[in-house]
Amino acid sequence: MDSKFSKGEQSRGRLLAAAASEFAAKGFHRARVSDIVKAAGLTQASFYQYFESKEGLYQQLMDEFFAKLWELADGGSKVTALDEADVYGQVRENLLALFRFFQGRPELTQMVLYQAEAGEELHRKLAATVSANLRQNQAAGHVRADLSPEVAAEAMVAVCYRLTSRFLLAGEKTAEQLADEAVSFLAHGILQEKTREGARHE
């Protein structure tokens, strides 16, 4: 255990992690506090020291997940003020942070991102955040001016969703491998530079 965390923080963290597994495996309603504390190696009493109820824990789990997710989705805002030589590296860093976040909590990621009901709304909200940053970064000269920020944002979010489920949560690639491959694809697309559209008209 990381010594910078107090024993209380460690216990709280273990309860949150165990609860995420239980919720993902059984659904919120069938997950029991007794199973959560057992999986965390703690007592029922310690559970109620940190959380007032199963509902309270669930809410904290979601609040923390979404707070971090929105921060990561807004990563493009870090690009705007950069020199052009640093843009590619920052985009890679943004993707790496996102994939590491998902890799560190696979069950919550699966539960939140890939559930049918609220999934569409979440995808659209994430795309709206990305779209706003793409627009800023077009103004800054980093992002190609002929892209529709709205369409490109939807496409970027779709790529992150798919690569996460197909390679990261499946355990086939690490966050680092995926960040390297995703940044290459998203930043410069699939074609050689010489095939740029403009080449047809020159």
Q: What residues line the site for a second copy (CB under 8 A)?
A: 84-89, 91, 116, 134, 141-144, 146-148, 151-152, 154-159, 161-163, 166-167, 173, 178, 181-182, 184-197, 199-200
Amino acid at 24: A
- Shortest CB 143 distance to a second copy, Å: 5
- Shortest CB 24 distance to a second copy, Å: 17
| List of residues 6+ apart from 104 with CB closer than 8 A | none
- Shortest CB 195 distance to a second copy, Å: 4
Nearer to a second copy by Cβ, of 108 and 163: the residue is: 163
CB 21 within 8 A of CB 39: yes
Shortest CA distance to 94 belongs to which of 106, 80, 107?
80
- Shortest CB 145 distance to a second copy, Å: 8
Nearer to a second copy by Cβ, of 21 and 137: the residue is: 137
| List of residues 6+ apart from 26 with CB closer than 8 A | none
**Residue 92: CA atoms inside 13 Å, Cβ hemisphere, count?**
13
Question: Which residue shows structure tokens 């970027």?
Answer: 156
Nearer to a second copy by Cβ, of 132 and 159: the residue is: 159
Nearer to a second copy by Cβ, of 2 and 84: the residue is: 84
